[in-house]
A and B are shown apart, each in its own frame.
Chain A
Amino acid sequence: MFIEIKNAKKQYGTGEAAVFALAGVDLTLDKGKIYVILGPSGSGKSTLLNMIGGLDSLDSGDLIVDGKNIASASKKELLQYRLEDVGFIFQFYNLIPDLNVEENIQVVSEISPKPLDIDEVLKALEIEQYRKRFPKELSGGQQQRVAIGRAMIKNPKLLLCDELTGALDTKSSYAVLKFVEKMNQIYGTTIIIITHNEAIADMADCIIRFKDGNVASKVDNDNKCPAEKLNL
């Protein structure tokens, strides 16, 4: 068991305006697998991702990642956790506009304790030729590949993807998902993908559905198919 979440609760707002983003979530995830979390807006899936990534903290409950309880970690420990163990990919890439492709990846490799070889990552993501370009000079798909490279360069144990194809066209979406899958295959990274797109669930080892701040279902995907064969 790589991630164990026990009775995780998170509330935003107070009184009548209170919203229970996580209403006592219990969940376990295994190492090296691809998980796809589906659910309507406001179901709590992004909140869960933020908690697993150490961006936000639970009101109560436990969140244990690779033996460490993130829920009770200090700010400093969370910082170290994000630096060493977690890679993020966002819907809108969040690349640093003042840095070119190579630098956007180097910005992580420079502070990472065990970074991968940047040329290898650029090559794997097929963006070597764009290494001196700036984000504004790239398409959405290319930018998202850079974001994958930036997330993977630290060789994280966990890759968290929040609607990573939400802003892409179909062709780019295939390419991006293919590279995410490739990262899982090459580096054995545990991957959690949050999406509204049901079709992406087919590439998962396990499909989790969220509803009203809790897990509605968790099903192993026996018919897992490669990313390039998804029906996007």
Chain B
Amino acid sequence: MKLNKRYPRSIRSYLSFYVSASVLTMVTLLMFFLFYTSGTSVKKYADDFARRNSRQDAQFETEMVIPDEALKSLASKYDAVFEKEYSVNFEEPDSKHSRIFKENKQIDLCELTAGSRPTNENEVMISLGYAEEHSIEVGDRIFAGQKERTVTGFFLRPDYLFMVENDTDTYKNVEDFFLAVLDEKTFNSSFEEPNVMYKVIYNDSSRENELRKEINSIYTTLSYLSSDANGRINYVYQEADTYIIMAWLLLITLPIIAVVLICIIISRKIIKEQKIIGTLSALGYKPRTIMLHYSIMAVIPGLIGGVLMSLVSLFIADWFGEFATASFEPIKPVFKVPAAIMIAGIIIPTVIYFIAAMLVTRKILKNNTVSLLSGSVGTKSASKKIFTKSQMKVRTRFALRSVIGNPGRSFVIFLGIFLGSAIICFGMVYSDSMKSLADDPQPKIGSYKYRYYLSDFREGVYSDNTDVLINSSFESESGSIVNVIGADKDCKRLNLTEKSTNKTADLSEGWYISNLAAVMFDVDKGDEIKLKNSATLEEKTIKISGIIKNDYEIYVISTRENASKVTGIDADYYDCILSDESISFENGEVSLILTDKSFKKQMDIVYDESTTNRITIILLGVVICIASIYVAINMMINEQAANISMLKVLGYKRKYIDTMVLRGNHILLIPGIVLGILGGVGIMKLFSVLLVEVLELILPVELTLKTVLFTIAVTCICYFGSLLILRRRVDNIDMIESLKDNRE
């Protein structure tokens, strides 16, 4: 059909529209694709790796050793698999910390990534992350178990993909800590009393509680950690979920707004073509043929944008995905964009543009052909009579009237500014939130400098410069670990500021919950919460008297007496010391030490690891900002071509034409940026809420002056930059051709 020849001609005529609309479609979808691909690929890798290497469902320690025969019997009775894992911790002569294992046979297997397994006492294989961090190669000699041995190979373990030394650490440590595996004979002969940890895989998960109760009743469970609550395992999933949540959040905001923006522009372009539509109709073209013709023209930016996005994502998915794995051992997921999602990314915007064009064309075709031929359809504007009595210069009146009197067109420009500033603001607020999280977090949880978790309970008080706590691990109904803390009423080293009153909580009034826990479990003052003892599985219900301002930790706290009733630990005992100064303990007396510096370091790492995300969002925000504003202003100039021509004919200088045609839109910058900033904060709030359970942190949503100024500055630069580029289009408008088109 000859009409089809209009497609390439239309692209040539509206090249800048097609380019900017395609770029906008591409970039907004690209953000979704990159985050989604990274998240799903990491998750898939972790699942496959776990399956390949028989990852545990849980690990536990008992007071009494479970004999091998008893384990076999339990395994058979409860349809489970057990592994008794042996390990020894060392501080090596070079001050590095090692954890030496006897290699497991059934659960949490070592996957060799290079070299071979050790075969004699002079050989060792070590964790890959440490090897890469220190450029250790197969054949090198290192200290492992306080003896120099030759490295025969490197491995990854499914329960150590996130390499933390202690369960409660939240940052990886491959600088000073590594895992090492010796051959079985060497391990058995070298260490007389290794640590024993039981690993379990439940083939029948419905019997988990029954099994745990039996083990506790006979062997007394000291600790129990399911894989869902094990940071070394679940942080991979948390990180992947963060990326996936970010992807969906971006999808429901940016591409939708961009697609709406482009649909409006396409609709307005079609309305401008009404004389051609009228002519085609008069020539006898069927409405369906005309609708199809314009719909096909409209799909061009969707198709180009979708295909470009697919191509670009193929090239940069690996680069972007690497940032999603930076926290972990050197895992190598295949960052492949799922074919179905890729096809959907091409098809969905294309179909939306197609439908939008079809509906608009159908609506236009409902008018009679004479009206279409005269170009009078959709030209009514009720707001043009404003400022008629004003003493302002006509060009100022014109500028304001063309903004206010053309709400559809102004909305498109507003939407462009809004979209750009919202994404830039979101990137900045996200950055500020992460920084606020990392900035001096210690005072927000307490004034102590050292927090010692003791291996055994002690009685009474420790010293004047300390506070002592009962600290016991419980599980919420959702399986999350909740610390049940008993403290003295005059505990000074914990920040016990109550959220509603801003005063220090009076622990004698009952149980208080940290804000993070309250948000995670959706609990408020006066509510009750059920907690399950991790060892005994005994359930307790406590009533919440208030919420403590603490967005970093998951706990409930009351007096030691109340804690004693819940935990069963004598109220005179304690197993945690908060101190202003460092305390010396004998070897083995302390199971874990947390310091204000280590906590700050954890938060710094969380901040550092978000750097790529933050910069990517801001950079893509700038591209979106330029593309969306460009596409909107470009449309406005096209629509004003006849007026611009007439002004040129009348002898108007460029600066006056700019004033009348372009500058009036400056007023849209104010609502666009203001609502954009609010939109950016709104997206961040939503993101923060969605991430509470994933990160087990409440990201503070703070809007700083710096962010506001940055958003204003970047949006304005993008806006005025687009105007600068488009001023050439104003210059290039051909007076004669445009006036010929102006047949009213």
Does A79 belong to the interface (CB within 8 Å)? yes
A96 touching B643 by the CB < 8 A rule? yes
A88 to B384, CA, bound (A): 25
In Å, the complex CA distance between A222 and B645 comes to 38
In the bound complex, residues from chain A placing their C-beta under 8 Å from that of B735 are 55-56
Cβ–Cβ contact B398 & A99, under 8 A: yes
B395 within 8 A of A: yes
Complex interface residues of chain B between 639 and 662 (CB less than 8 A to chain A): 642-643, 645-653, 656
Instruction: Produce 1/0 per residue, A68-96, CB < 8 A to B.
Output: 00000000000111111010101011101
- Please give me the residue from chain B that is nearest to A85 by CB atom: B651
B388 touches A55 (CB 8 A): no
Given A83-B651, A108-B650, A111-B651, also A98-B394 (CB < 8 A): no
A231–B405 alpha-carbon span in the complex (Å): 43
A111 touches B652 (CB 8 A): yes
Number of A-B contacts (CB under 8 A): 82
Residue A103, interface by CB 8 Å: yes
Q: Does B743 contact A (CB under 8 A)?
A: yes
Tell me whether A103 and B394 are in contact (CB under 8 A): yes
Q: Is A92's CB under 8 angstroms from B736's CB?
A: no
Per a CB cutoff under 8 Å, which of A56, A98, A135 touches B398? A98
Interface residues of A in 76-131 (CB under 8 A from B): 79-84, 86, 88, 90, 92-94, 96-100, 103, 106-108, 110-112
CB-CB nearest in chain B for A93: B744
Contact of A134 among B385, B647, B736, B743 (CB under 8 A): B385
- Contact A100 B388, beta carbon cutoff 8 Å: yes
In the complex, A135→B651 CA distance in Å?
A: 21
* Shortest distance from the beta carbon of A74 to any chain B beta carbon, whole Å: 14
Q: Which of B42-59 contact A (CB under 8 A)?
A: none
Cα separation A56 to B737 with both chains bound (whole Å): 11
Query: Complex Cα distance A135/B646, Å?
Result: 15
Pick the most buried of B642, B648, B652: most chain A CB atoms within 10 A of its CB: B652
> B402 within 8 Å of A by Cβ?
yes
Q: Any chain A CB within 8 A of the CB of B166?
A: no
Give, as a whole number of angstroms, the nearest-CB distance from B408 to chain A: 14
Is B646 a contact partner of A94 (Cβ separation < 8 A)? yes
Say yes or no: is B393 at the interface (Cβ < 8 Å to chain A): yes
Q: Is A132 an interface residue (CB 8 A)?
A: yes
Q: Which residue of B lies closest to A88 (CB)?
A: B649
Query: Of the candidates B394, B405, B649, B744, which one forms a contact with A82 in the assembled complex, judged by CB atoms under 8 Å apart?
Result: B649
Interface size class of A (residues with CB under 8 A): 20 to 34
Interface presence of B611 (CB below 8 A): no
Beta-carbon contact of A107 and B650 below 8 Å: yes
Decide yes or no whether B532 CB sits under 8 A from chain A: no
Complex: how many Å from CA A142 to CA B648? 23
Chain B residues, Cβ within 8 Å of A107: 394-395, 398, 647, 650
Contacts of A55 in B (CB 8 A): 649, 735-736
**CB atoms of A80 and B651 under 8 A apart:** yes
Pairwise interchain contact B651-A82, C-beta atoms closer than 8 A: yes
A79 in contact with B398 (CB, 8 Å): no
CB of A50 within 8 Å of the partner chain: yes
Q: Is B398 a contact of A111 with CB atoms below 8 Å?
A: no
| A87 and chain B: residue at smallest CB distance | B650
> What is the chain A residue whose CB lies nearest that of B389?
A132
Q: Is A9 interfacial (CB 8 A cutoff)?
A: no
B binding-site residues for A, Cβ under 8 Å = 379, 384-385, 388, 393-395, 397-398, 401-402, 405, 642-643, 645-653, 656, 735-736, 739, 742-744
Contacts A/B (CB < 8 Å), 9 sampled:
A79-B648, A82-B649, A92-B742, A99-B397, A99-B398, A106-B394, A107-B394, A110-B395, A150-B650
